[in-house]
Structures are given as structure tokens and as C-alpha cells.
Structure 1
């Protein structure tokens, strides 16, 4: 999965930061952070059900039968919602040879052609020595993105939303150039066919299911997107999840950043079970997925408004 590129740093108190944002993570279950103003649209139980299905497929590395079953599951769930999922197949040159991979793309048309991408990788890291089912790493964000399709499909929108399930994010061997295959292919293909110009922003979800989740602003991400998402989290009462701290991450958002597209990575890197056999369902809290999903949904209008001023 991702690669941390810098140590954590504390930044100045933001408008969304109140109380002790660095409180002990074991002292505050995610259930205690439900927004009180109004019910948010993301259904934690639905996201949890999707996650159980995904983990039930076992390890899902790119090129595997379980990876294909995952893509088929995503397509079935989209069809049940009245949405079409299309595969973007490609051949990835890995250190172990060519591997067939495929992104899954779901488009929610808006009144405008400009697109906001919401993405997640669905593959798990190839491991030979143990069974890596990736409940959090690859599973939680994919389950949430499936649920977001349900939440967003009937909501009025100006910009088109494109949900992209990326294959091949995980490194084949050590983290270097042998990773983020799906996001790099998506950007390269969009450059070639001329459609990249309509992509105006990208929101990446990754490792969003851990109990007592704590997100830090990724300094590789676009500043104004960080500002909007964190201020939205503060408005919803999630300051203890969206911390006033920073990190830097190399992940599926980086190909978009390098292409000049504003992008943000929402990820909790401090996960002891990361890339271990212990990344299992018992480490997951459905409310963590709900909190992140609620914030993304609530932030989309402000993101759209900002993009309209950039014309």
C-alpha cells in the first residue's frame, strides 16, 4: 500500500480544531463521534456488509482470481443501484513480469462535464509468507466507495462524479516504481484520449476503517482541499478524527498531483496491523467508515463551489 514520505509534524490550530485533538486514541471510540445536528447519509451497516463480502474473497492481489471476483462484486452492486461499472483493463509491467490488471469506473453524470474523482484501491499486497486479507488496507475504502455510490447517485450535482476503484496500488516487492499501477494507468490513458482536462479534483480514500481512526493532513495533497475537508469535519463535530497534525504520503493521488490535478488523500497511516496477517475484520469499526464518508459527502458542495471559481 502507501508509503510514508515524511515524519509527522504538528501544524497550527485550524478553524476546525477544538478541544484536545491529540487525545489518547484508545480513550475515544468512533461511536462517540456521531454528528448530533442531523443524520448523515452514509449507512455504516451497509459499508460493513460490503467489507465482509470483500474480505470473504480472501487475499485479492492484482491478477488473482479473488481480485477478479472483487471486480465482479463491485459491478453487481453497481448494477443493483442502476449504475454501470466499466473495466479499464491494462497490462502492468511488474518486477515479476506482466500482470493483467483492471480499474473499475462508475460515472454519476452531473449537469456539467467536469469531473470530481473519488477513488480507492481494491487490491491487496501480494504476500507469500502469510494470508493478507486487507480488511483495512484495500477493503475498508472499497466498501465505503461502494456505499458512496448508493448515497451519491440520486443527489443533485453540477459536476460529474466518477468513482474509480483502482487496481494494482500495492507494491510488487519493495516500494519504488512497482506500485500505483492503476492510478498511473488511469492518468496516462486520460492524457492520451484528451479527457484528463475534464478532471478537476480527486479524493482518495485509503485505510479508513480502523477503530478510533485518526486522520492527519497529507502534505502531498492540495492545500485548499485539505482546508475544505478539515473544516467540514470540524463542522460535523469530528475534530478528534481529523487531527490538526500532518504527514506526507505516496499513494494513488500522486499521479493526479503530478498531472496538475488537485487531489487529497484521506488515510490513517498509524495502523499497527498494516501489511500483516492481523489486518482482519476485528480491527475495523464501521463507524470509522461512516465518519469519513459523511465528511466527504458534506464537503463535495464546497469543493464544487471552489472549482467553479477556478474557471
Structure 2
């Protein structure tokens, strides 16, 4: 029985690895930039997240409302749910603190509950209890903003693809893939990191989903089973990150993202690159410099996986068999858990590069090449931005 289960898992991973559509250079060049929406003071997406947002406080509620407004106003086709839990923390004097996870899902329009496998884009939105006034820009306001922008960037293409599938009479159950966004609460420890003082929201959600069964005839037994890949972003937004490949079973996905990064750099689309056209133009010596990499272990061999990983929101899901691609730097950025982890210390070129990379990865995962209408999308985004300005 164990061998048979392992065989099924291998078949599932192989099918995922083959159901992955490469984007053209033209598509990569035309993905929209976050631009002013990532301005740290007035940006409609990022600025509202750059505040203290400790779980259970008014700041947390305000940021959650910002997320809800974003989906309501800009991504109305997404199904948005809130997952509530509560727990006593080491600093709450015996009182229960509320934790609220946001779950936003976009599935094919005629799919049945339990028959869709999903790419989950995940970040935590709470900020650390100490030091007082801690913002947590890399940890993880910027990753949340990246995910929101990526979702909007692929939304129209998803709609177009699924409309064409319905019009053509395609049996979408042959390729029932969706996207799910998890913005998780309570990742940070209130006092010191332990098994009980950390990951409050993710632990509660994974536990609930483990026993939330889909109808008996469904392809996937539970919402956990429906996650084909749990892509967790954390500590992103400082310059010069290096991201290891942590898990052998998802190294193929890491390599796919690394391949996109390489192509974006070769196309001159990575703003943080020393060889970006704007930086080359300012230099007297126009010779190309050594090109850095965010994802540094694409060539890692099987024997190099030693089993180590960074504890984060993926742990309760990984313990229940969910496949994880953890995008977190090692070593951590120097502002980690320091009061200087604020908007002013973000490297916005790096933030934009990560946003483009995550968008492209999601678009390739959903096989959206040929379904982007960038002219129409730009017109729609211009209208949406004018209606979603920060006063």
C-alpha cells in the first residue's frame, strides 16, 4: 500500500511537471509593471500594507479590509472567504486573540467542488509584536503586494482561456486547474518561536482543511489535496537575495522559476540587474557585468538535498503531504526582525523583479500563453487605478 501511494504521488508530480506552458518573450516583455501602485507612501496596493498589523489589532483589521476591497473592486470573479480561529498567546494574559486568514480562489467556471487542482500563492500579512512600531516590509508586506499584483495580471487571461474552453466544448476536467491565494495571519511569534507560539493561522487552517471532505466522487479528497503546489513567499524585497532549493520533490518547479528568471534577465527586464538598460546607460564602461541570480540552485543534484528547511507557514501543510516551493532567502536579509524593515529599506527594483517573476511563473503554471490581450488589459487597469486611488 505504501509503495502504491508513493507511485501515485510520483505520477502526480510528473503530470504537473509536463502540464506547464512556457511563455513567449513577447508575453514576458508585456507584463504590466506595478509602477506607482508600489509607491511606499501613496501606492494603491503596497502603501496600505506598510503599517503595524499585529494579529488582533486595528492595524490588522485595516490591512485585511484593504485586501477585501482589492478583490471586490478589481478581481470580482474570485471567490473570497475568511477563515477564523483564535488562540491564547504568551502576551495576551489568558485572553484569546483572533486570527483571520483570507482565501481567494479562481477556478474554471463550470468545475465541480473537489475536482480542481490549484496553485496556491501564499504569504503572511501579520507583523511582529516587537519591536514596537515594527512594519515588516519584507516580512511580509511586499510579498502580499506581489501576489495581489500577480493575480490581477493573469485574471483576464484566465477568463479568456476558460471562455474559449467552454465555447470549444473542451472537457476542462482534463485540465481542471485553478489559482488560490492564501494571505495568512499569525505567522509571527509573540514572544519567542515555538511550536505553539508561531504559525497560528496556518496551523488552524491546515488542521481544518485536513478534515473538510469534498463529495465522495471528487478528484481531490480535501482542500489540502487540491493544492498541487504551495508557493510560499517570505522575506522578499531586499537587494541581492539568494534563494536555495529546499525540497527535492519540488525542485522541478524551482528550476522552472529559475529558467524564467534567466530569461527575464537575458531580455533586460530585471530592474535590479547591473545590466538593466537604464543602469548600463549611466555607466561609462558599457561592458556587461557578471549577472547575479535570485534562484541560485537550479543545477542542484539529488544528493545535495540534506533535508533542512526554514520553519514558516508551509510547515503545517507540508506535514499533511502538501508539496511546497518555499521562496525565502538564505541568509535572511539584514533588516529581518529589525525596526529598519520598513518601506524606506525596500529595494523597489527587486520588489518589482520578484513581482514579474511570480506573475510569469503563475502564468506558465496555468498555461496562459496566447490568452493575454495587453492593450485591453492596460485600458482596464487604467480605469481600475483611477477608481482605486489612495486619497
Query: Is TM-score (shorter-chain normalized) higher than 0.5?
Result: yes
| Corresponding residue for residue 177 of structure 2 | 159
| Corresponding residue for residue 233 of structure 1 | 261
Change (3 A) 1:37 1:202: closer
Of 101, 114, 118, the match for 2:117? 114
Structure-2 separation of matches of 1:275 and 1:146: 24
The answer to whether the Cα contact below 8 Å between 1:204 and 1:266 also exists between their aligned partners in 2 is: yes
- Say if 2:87 is the partner of 1:87: no
Structure-1 separation of matches of 2:363 and 2:80: 24
The answer to whether the Cα contact below 8 Å between 1:148 and 1:293 also exists between their aligned partners in 2 is: yes
Q: What SS does the corresponding residue of 1:215 show, helix, strand or coil?
A: coil
Structure-1 separation of matches of 2:181 and 2:332: 26
Q: Which structure has the highest helix share of the two?
A: 2
Superposed CA deviations along residues 28-81 of structure 1, whole A, max 9, x for unmatched, are xxxxxxx997233342432341222221xx311111110011101110111111
Structure-2 separation of matches of 1:149 and 1:297: 7
- Say if 2:321 is the partner of 1:260: yes
Structure-1 separation of matches of 2:362 and 2:202: 21
TM superposition outliers: structure 1 runs of 4+ over 6 Å: none
- 1:62-77 matches, within 5 Å, as 62-77=55-70
| Corresponding residue for residue 27 of structure 1 | none
Structure-2 separation of matches of 1:281 and 1:191: 37
Q: What SS does the corresponding residue of 1:88 show, helix, strand or coil?
A: strand
Of 14, 37, 41, the match for 2:32? 41
The answer to whether the Cα contact below 8 Å between 1:46 and 1:147 also exists between their aligned partners in 2 is: no
The answer to whether the Cα contact below 8 Å between 2:151 and 2:359 also exists between their aligned partners in 1 is: no
Question: Where does the alignment leave 5 or more consecutive residues of structure 1 unmatched?
Answer: 1-34, 306-311
Number of aligned residue pairs: give it: 267
Give the TM-score of the pair, scaled to structure 1. 0.77
Superposed CA deviations along residues 257-278 of structure 1, whole A, max 9, x for unmatched, are 2221111121235311111111
Superposed CA deviations along residues 133-184 of structure 1, whole A, max 9, x for unmatched, are 1122121111112212211222226511011100001112111111112222
Across the aligned residues of Structure 1 and Structure 2, the Cα RMSD in angstroms comes to 2.5
| Corresponding residue for residue 216 of structure 1 | 243
Q: What SS does the corresponding residue of 1:250 show, helix, strand or coil?
A: coil
Q: Which structure has the highest strand share of the two?
A: 1
Question: Where does the alignment leave 5 or more consecutive residues of structure 2 unmatched?
Answer: 1-25, 162-175, 214-222, 271-290, 301-307, 368-391
| Corresponding residue for residue 6 of structure 1 | none
Superposed CA deviations along residues 6-49 of structure 1, whole A, max 9, x for unmatched, are xxxxxxxxxxxxxxxxxxxxxxxxxxxxx997233342432341
| Corresponding residue for residue 169 of structure 1 | 187
Change (3 A) 1:108 1:42: farther
